[in-house]
Amino acid sequence: MENAAIQATGLTKSFGEGAAATLAVRGATFEAHYGEMLFIVGPSGSGKTTLLSMISGILRPSSGSVTVKGANLWQLDADDLAEFRLRTIGFVFQDFHLFPKLTTAENVAIPLVLRREDWNASLDKGEQMLAIVGLKGRGQLPPVKLSGGEQQRVAIARALVGDPELLILDEPTASLDGDTGRMIVQFVREHVLNPTRCVLIVTHDARILEFADRVVHMEDGCITAGTEKTL
Q: Residue 227's pLDDT band (boundaries 50, 70, 90)?
A: low
What is the reported pLDDT for 174?
A: 83
Asked if pLDDT for residue 125 goes beyond 70, the answer is yes
Band (35; pLDDT cuts 50, 70, 90): very high
Q: How confident is the model at residue 96 (pLDDT cuts 50, 70, 90)?
A: confident
The pLDDT tens digits for 194-221 are: 999 999 999 988 889 999 999 999 999 9
Using CA atoms of 129, 132, 135, 141 in order, give the dihedral in degrees to the nearest 10: 10
Number of domains into which the chain is organized: 1
**Residue 69: DSSP 8-state:** T
With beta carbons less than 8 A apart as the criterion, state whether 206 and 46 touch: no
Average pLDDT on 7-36 reads 92
Q: Is the pLDDT of residue 177 over 80?
A: yes
Q: What predicted TM-score, i.e. pTM, was given to this entire model?
A: 0.88
Domain of 79, in residue numbers: 4-228
CATH number at residue 56: 3.40.50.300
Beta strands 22-33 and 4-15 are antiparallel
